[in-house]
Every structure is written in C-alpha cells, then in structure tokens.
Amino acid sequence: VSDDIFGIDEVTLFKNEWNDKCYAVAGDVLDGYLYDLLMNLLEEKGISNEFVDKLCELSTAYEHSSYIKFLEGLQKFTSGK
C-alpha cells in the first residue's frame, strides 16, 4: 500500500516541444518497479508528499481568494457601481 498523496498519470519523453506524435505511457500501465523509481526520482528533486501538500494548500487558498474577488466584482456589476 502506497502512502503517496500524488501519483504519476502519464510519462512522455520528447525533445524540444511536445506534439501529437510523442508516445505517452499511462502511469497505471507502467512497470511497478519503474513507477517506484520515477517516484523516488521526483522525491529526490523535492517533489514529495510535503511539497504536494503545501502546493495543494496554496492553490486552494489562491482559488478561494480569486473566487471571492469574482463574487465582489459580480456584486458591483449587478448593483451598478
């Protein structure tokens, strides 16, 4: 059982820019050992459960703040101010 709070959905290797001809492998069909190696590599690069947790908190706070600003703008628009 994995304790990871994130996972690999897809892996693609390409040079320069991505295009439709680039081969992609779904994370759920990757060899289990290769999947674990890639997850370890991500953790070595700083992409850990702790990082993802903080990123989730930050993005949730940003989304909430943006939604509040939207509602305030909508209120001003509908009240004619």
pLDDT in tens, 40-50: 999 999 999 99
Instruction: Indicate the domain borders of the chain.
Output: 1-46, 48-81
Per-residue pLDDT tens over the stretch 4-16 = 899 999 999 888 8
The length of the chain, given as a count of residues = 81
Q: End-to-end CA distance of the chain: give it in Å, rounded.
A: 56
Q: b/e per residue, 45-71, with b = 16+ CB within 10 A? A: eeebeeeeeeeeeeeeeeeeeeeeeee
d(CA 44, CA 7): 15
